Structure 1
Amino acid sequence: MTLQAAQEAVDQWIKTVGVRYFSELTNMAILTEEMGELSRHMARIYGDQSYRKAEDENNAKTLMADEMADVLWVLLCLANQTGVDLTAALEKNFEKKDIRDASRHLNNKKL
């Protein structure tokens, strides 16, 4: 699925099943909440924290993938609400990075 198709699919779902978009500010708060949930899994899978329940640990990658999808969903909602074409925005972002970072990372001794 392309970003454009994802934006269209989310918009169609919102208009048929979801009734209407939440306000932009509410969706921004939800995005922050979803990022926190993703962060929780990242800290337990790749960081120093551990899960309290064995079933969460056994399902960790699935839980993390679900949270990533939730983050993407809300970001797509915000893009639709604010008139942002994410495909065009991402393409422009690549152009910016290609110019700005053309040799930056190649010359980074840390990498």
Structure 2
Amino acid sequence: MDLRDIQQQVDAYISQFKEGYFPPLVNLARLTEEVGELAREINHAHGLKTKKADEPEGDIALELGDILFVVVVLANQLGIDLSDAAARTLAKYKVRDADRWERVEAPGDPS
């Protein structure tokens, strides 16, 4: 599934309800909530904070999926093609960070 397919599926899902898309600021608040839930799960899995005995096990992949869903919602309602946005962002990183990090030596490269 590519980003355009995901955007179309999210739009089809939301378009079936009379309420439609929530306003962008509401969706930004939703995104912030979802990022907080991801932070909590990562902190439990990889940080120093342990879960309470009665706290259910979380799902980091599901939290990332929730974030993706809300990002797609925002893109759809603002008329943004996420495939294009992702391509532009990758190009920006390739230029901006071209010499920022130490590269992994390719097999056969002389040391």
Q: TM-score, normalised by structure 1?
A: 0.85
Q: Secondary structure at the match of 2:62?
A: helix
Instruction: State the identity %.
Output: 38
Larger radius of gyration: 2
- The corresponding residue for 1:50 is 50
Where do 1:1-111 residues align within 5 Å?
1-17=1-17, 19-53=19-53, 56=56, 59-60=57-58, 63-106=59-102
The answer for unaligned runs of 5 or more in structure 1 is none
Quote how far apart the aligned CAs of 1:92 are. 0.8
The answer for unaligned runs of 5 or more in structure 2 is 104-111
Q: TM-score, normalised by structure 2?
A: 0.85
Distance 2:35 2:55 in 1: 22
The structure with the largest helix share of the pair is 1
Q: Which runs of 4+ in 1 moved over 6 A?
A: none
RMSD: 1.7
Quote how far apart the aligned CAs of 1:16 are. 1.2
Quote how far apart the aligned CAs of 1:9 are. 0.4
Q: Secondary structure at the match of 1:69?
A: helix
Distance 1:13 1:87 in 2: 20
Report the number of matched residues: 103
Q: What do the CA deviations read for 1:19-59 (whole angstroms, capped 9, x no partner)? A: 40111110000000111111110111000001113662xx3
